[in-house]
Amino acid sequence: MKQLLSMNCLLLMGICSFLAGSAQRAAIKPDQLDTYEIKLQPAINDAKGILPFNSIKIIDARFDTSKVGFATIYEQSFSKLIVKNGLQETAVPFLNEYYTQNFHLTDSRNLVIVVKTLWLHQINISDKAGKKFIDRQSLDDRQVNEVVAKFETYIEQNNYYQALYRIDTAFATDGKFYKVADELLLLPFYLAVNKTMNADLTGFLAQRQKLSLEAVYQYNASRFNLPCFETDKLARGVYMTFHDFINGKPTYENFTIEKGKLSDELYIEQNGNKVLLTDCWGFCDGSDNYIKLGFSLYPFYKQGNTYELWGSHHITHTFNRSNAGARSPAEVLLMGASFNKNRTKNYLRPMQINMETGKAY
């Protein structure tokens, strides 16, 4: 009986170690990382269709226009990804050269792509599946290169703009990041342009309102008018949702953080009692802001019209070689393996908060 109790305690300690989370801080903020410049390489366009316009324009309306993502280059440390001279100034001449043979040269219209989101990073398969802890040697830990994009497109003619459609998508690919970065960045643009190939827009545009360029800019700039950007210090409290956070409306103002050997626990006060809160978007302690990812809490920092952090969506764990045949962490413990905090770890990476969804990527 004593042996069984002892084994159960060991199992409980092992499982708790998966839930270990701490408000971890890195030496530098993500935006202070060294930069890696993505260069758009000349490409061959074999598309045979005709585009119903004679040029392409881009309006960069992202919350942060200073970079296009974070990634590990050449299997070394993380870098901040940039496009020399800016996305708008670099992508416009590239796309117009790329589609030269497809433009309808006698058409007076232009395609305008408004970039709302464009983010390149490396992501674990487990993150896509929403898993909160994974095996270091499993397929769940395999990384792919991904671009997340959200565009709105317009047809511009005679200084008026008419809305076409939206692009809200993600593309993923394997391989070394530095070998695929430029192609990955361009894939959403190819999708946006190719969607109009051989299209007859006359009837479609007849039903669309005509807007001025100022109206288009004002519409996109309105996204930045969030209460959370109006102050450097948010109201102290727990924010149950991202909507609560951006509007500066905490649900619980009174809370405490208890730091244990294995985890940080967030307690709120209800009816005079301490209640463990297991699900929330984040909190502000009156000085710093924190977001909850997976089982852990991470401080985040304002950058441009968004926020950045060092964080992870999951906890990674490994096994002793002698127990490689075990199918789960619990089985490892039951087989007598020593499973301690040195074998569970949050592998932190630089991330940015998507200010439309509240998710960190």
Q: What is the pTM of this model?
A: 0.82
Q: Residue 231's beta-bridge partner residues?
A: none
Q: HSE (CB half, 13 Å, CA atoms) of 44? A: 1
- Tell whether the torsion through CA atoms of 11, 15, 17 and 22 is positive or negative: negative
Q: At which residue do the structure tokens 């020399």 appear?
A: 84
Domain edges within the chain: 33-225, 229-352
What digits encode the pLDDT tens for the residues 26-35?
Answer: 678 999 999 9
- Residue 7 pLDDT level (bands cut at 50, 70, 90): very low
Q: In 3D, which of 220, 253, 223, 251 has the Cα closest to residue 236?
A: 253
- Residue 80 pLDDT > 50: yes
Q: Residue 287's beta-bridge partner residues?
A: none
- Do you know the residue count of the chain? 361
Q: Mean pLDDT across the stretch 89-110? A: 95
What digits encode the pLDDT tens for the residues 172-218?
Answer: 999 999 999 999 999 999 999 999 998 888 888 999 999 999 999 99
Q: Which CATH number fits domain 33-225: 3.40.50, 3.10.50, 1.10.3470, 1.10.3720?
A: 3.40.50
- Residue 17 pLDDT level (bands cut at 50, 70, 90): very low
Mean of the per-residue pLDDT values of the chain = 83
d(CA 310, CA 24): 8
Q: Cβ atoms within 10 A of the Cβ of 134, count? A: 21
**Which of the pair, 330 or 222, is modelled with greater confidence?**
222
Q: Residue 83's beta-bridge partner residues?
A: none
**Which of the pair, 265 or 56, is modelled with greater confidence?**
56
Q: Which of 15-19, 311-315, 322-326 has the lowest mean pLDDT?
A: 15-19
Q: Mean pLDDT across the stretch 140-152? A: 87
CB 165 within 8 A of CB 199: no
Q: In 3D, which of 284, 326, 327 has the Cα closest to residue 307?
A: 284
